Every structure is written in structure tokens, then in C-alpha cells.
Amino acid sequence: MLEKLEHVQMSTFELPQAVQDVLAEAEQALVDRPKLAELFRNCFPNTLETTTKLMDDGSTFVITGDIPAMWLRDSVEQLMHYVPLCKEDKQLQRIISGLIRRHMFYLEIDPYANSFNETANDWHWDPADETEMSPWVWERKFELDSLCFTIRLAYHYWKTSGNTDIFDAGFKQGLRTIFQLWRTEQRHMEESPYRFTRRNCPAIDTIRNKGLGMPVNYTGMIWSAFRPSDDACEFHYSIPSNMFAVVSLRQMQEMVRAVYRDEAFCAELAEMEEEIQHGIELYGIYRHPVHGNIYAYETDGFGNYCLVDDAGTPSLLSMPYLGYCDVNNPMYLNTRKFILSTENPYYFEGKAAKGMGSPHTPAGYIWHMGLSMQGLTANNDAEIVDMIHLLETTDADTGYMHEGFHSDDPTIFTRPWFAWSNSLFSQLIYKAIQKGLLTKPSS
């Protein structure tokens, strides 16, 4: 594995005017909150300042931060807080549409891969992985959510900017590639060519059963090898990832109908959407003795469930954020109560903070992304303000968000350069500014 990068300046362009305007707006709105103003000033432009590279072919390459590769999922969420600003800003449109083009390029190389190199340099997280690798592929962990994020970015860019420049024949072929892969992975055990084995590693970094995965029953849902955390699934139907796929299929239908006017393809997409939704409702709901009916995190379709949630997106907590349901949906609220309690094995309470972590980091570590997502999906202003207070007081005076920090001592943390976490924090703060929640100092 390559050595991790130091925190470097990657972009060579001035910040887009729309981004500069938001920074100026925030300076005014946070005049009585100097610490929060500093955090926003650092975090809001961080993706553009440190992880974004405009390529000569018109595409955009976005590294995750401290690893020299581009994750499909991370790259979208690193830029997502800029999408609402792009309607009148041509520079932002160039950056975002360039990332979409980069995604579609990688998709045709390998739709099963989760992260890619800038060039065909044959760099890999683990060169010994037993799977069908490519010189372009950094890591080939199949994560259902990766392809959903590609759709998410394209859809919201289109709806915000009104631009149809990304919708060429190659884009439609990319949608067809995604659909065909998902169709295959609905019957993974019988039809999938995908295998992944990593030797001499923690169990969460490899797939059992000679790389095929543990047996699953047909449910209509789509199989996934790994979680959004890059950790292996326990049971390979990820409920939040399949919920995200339902949202993506709806968005795909809207794009295909409006741009390509292909009703036959729309019908295929609608059929799959219904199959997955039926699978979620039939196999993905667990009757909890305290919280009533809640969504499981994973199932195998044989009646086994994994009852957790993870701070990475997509999570069960993030479903309103991704557009699957409303923040006041009764089943979501039941699930949320479970998630934000110690009955969730990855919810931690300490001397400094309480919130959701991940099996990807040690026990007792809370993720800033979990706190940001809790604020973004809250149905009341008080909870939003509480989450911002926790975020503001747990940065260890670094001026940035991290991956995980110890619930008893925020000066102990992982990944000091994690651009996705900075971006999600920025979304929450700007939402609170727009709602007028941060005009006075916190008590």
C-alpha cells in the first residue's frame, strides 16, 4: 500500500464566486460566533482547495484527502454542498459536470470498483487482492451505494443548473450499465461474476465463501459485498443502500423520460424500483421489543438481521437526507430512536460527547459525520443547535472536522484530513445560517 499523503494544496484555481459569496455571507452571520466562523471558513472550501483537480479532458478528479485515490461515494459528498450554488456559476458547473464525466468514464472501466486512480498507474490499496483488477482501479470492493452516488450527483446537478450537457449517449449507456449490474446482483448467488478475497487482513476487509459471500435468499433487493464504510457486510442485503437504490431508480426514470424519452427503459427501471421496495418492506423490517417496527441495517433474506447503524452515508439515519422518506415518517422515527440509543452497538456516550460511530474505527469513537447527519435530519431546531455545539467543541482546536474522535477526549481522533466530513459539516452550518439559528452566541 502506498504511504498516505500529507495535507497538500491540490487545486490550482481561484474559488468560484458563488463559494466566495457564501463565505462572505457566513462571516456576517457568524460574527458573534468566532470559533464557528473559523470552522466554516476552513471547512466550506476545503474540498476545492485541497482535493480537487481539473483534468485536461474536461473531467474532474477528487481525492478523498489523505489517500491518493478517488472514491465514487466520497467524491460526490465532498462536492455536494456546492451543487445548490451552481445555477449561475459557470466555474462550479465545470467542476461538478467534470466529476460526473469522470464517474461515467470509470463506470465503463469497472462498475464493481469503489475507488480509482487518477491515471492507469496500477496503484492499489492491496496489490494482492484476488479479484479482476485494472490499472485504473485503486480498490475493487463492490458497494451498492457507490453507483447510487453517481446518480445522485448527476440528478441534482441537472435539477439545479438546468444543464443537459452531461446527457450524451455515453451517459445513457452508463445508466444501462448500472441497471444491468443491479439486475445481476439481485440474484448474486446464481448469476454474479463478482468475487473478492483479501488475505492476511481483518475479517471485515474480505468476503467469505471463497469471495462469493455468505448465502442469501432472493428478496428483490440488490446484493452488496461491502458497506459504505468499506467494511464487509455481515448479511449482504444492505437496507440503507437498497433504500438509496430506490431513490436512484426514481431519479434515473426522471432523467431517462425527460432527456432520452425512452419509456421502455423507464418501465424496466420502475419494475426494479418496485421489486426492491417490496423487498425492503417484506424482509427489511424488524419488530423491536422497545421501539416497535424499525428498519434493520442488513438482512440475508433468511430471517437473520443486523441491528446497527453506521455514521457513514448511506445510513438508516441518512434516509431523509438522501430522499427516501420524510423526517417525520413514523417508521423512520422509530428507527431513529433505536439508532440514537445505546441499543445501537455503534452509538457511544462519553464525558465529552454522545453520538454514532462505526465498526471502521475503535469502540468509543464518535464520528463528526454522524453528528452532522443527525443535525441535517433533525425535525426540530433545538436538535440542530445541539449538534452544532457538539461539532464546534470537538474539533480539538484544529479548525477542521475529523473521522472519529474519542467520546471522552476529542483530542484523540482519526484522520485529521477528511474532506467529506468537512463538507457535511458545512452543509449543516449553512442550513442553520439560512434558518437564522446562529445569530446569537451559544450559551
Query: pLDDT digit string (tens) for 39-79?
Result: 999 999 999 999 999 999 999 999 998 889 999 999 999 99
Strands 285-288, 292-295: pairing kind: antiparallel
Average model confidence (pLDDT) for the chain? 95
pTM: 0.96
pLDDT of res. 440? 60
Query: In terms of pLDDT, which residue wins out, 311 or 11?
Result: 311
HSE, CB side, 13 Å, CA atoms: give it for residue 214.
14
Query: In terms of pLDDT, which residue wins out, 240 or 10?
Result: 240
The proportion of the chain whose per-residue pLDDT surpasses 90, expressed as a percent, equals 95
Distance CA 149, CA 284 (A): 22
Complete edge-to-edge strand list for the sheet that includes strand 70-71: 70-71, 115-116, 137-139
∠ CA 378-380-385, nearest 5°, is 80
Q: What is the DSSP letter of 85?
A: G
Which of 5-9, 33-37, 277-281, 408-412 has the least mean pLDDT?
A: 5-9
What is the biggest distance separating any 2 CA atoms in the chain, rounded to whole angstroms? 61
- Please report the domains of the chain, with CATH numbers, ordered by start residue: 17-434 (1.50.10.10)
3-state secondary structure 95-153: HHHHHHHHHHHHHHHCCCCCEECCCCCCCCCCCCCECCCCCCEEECCCCHHHHHHHHHH
Confidence band for 146, pLDDT divided at 50, 70 and 90: very high
Of 341, 337, 344, residue with least CA distance to 310: 344
Confidence band for 1, pLDDT divided at 50, 70 and 90: very low
pLDDT of res. 10? 59
pLDDT of res. 12? 67
| Average pLDDT over every residue of 85-90 | 98
> Is the pLDDT at 9 greater than 60, yes or no?
no
> Is the pLDDT at 398 greater than 60, yes or no?
yes
Distance CA 275, CA 186 (A): 9
pLDDT of res. 5? 40
Peptide bond into 314 cis (omega under 30): yes
pLDDT of res. 439? 78
User: Looking at this protein, which amino acid is placed at residue 386?
Assistant: D
User: Looking at this protein, which amino acid is placed at residue 378?
Assistant: A
Distance between terminal CA atoms of the chain?
Answer: 47
Q: What is the DSSP letter of 68?
A: S
pLDDT of res. 65? 84
pLDDT of res. 155? 98
- Over residues 243-264, the pLDDT tens digits come to 999 999 999 999 999 999 999 9
User: Looking at this protein, which amino acid is placed at residue 427?
Assistant: Q
pLDDT of res. 18? 98
pLDDT of res. 66? 84
> Is the pLDDT at 287 greater than 60, yes or no?
yes
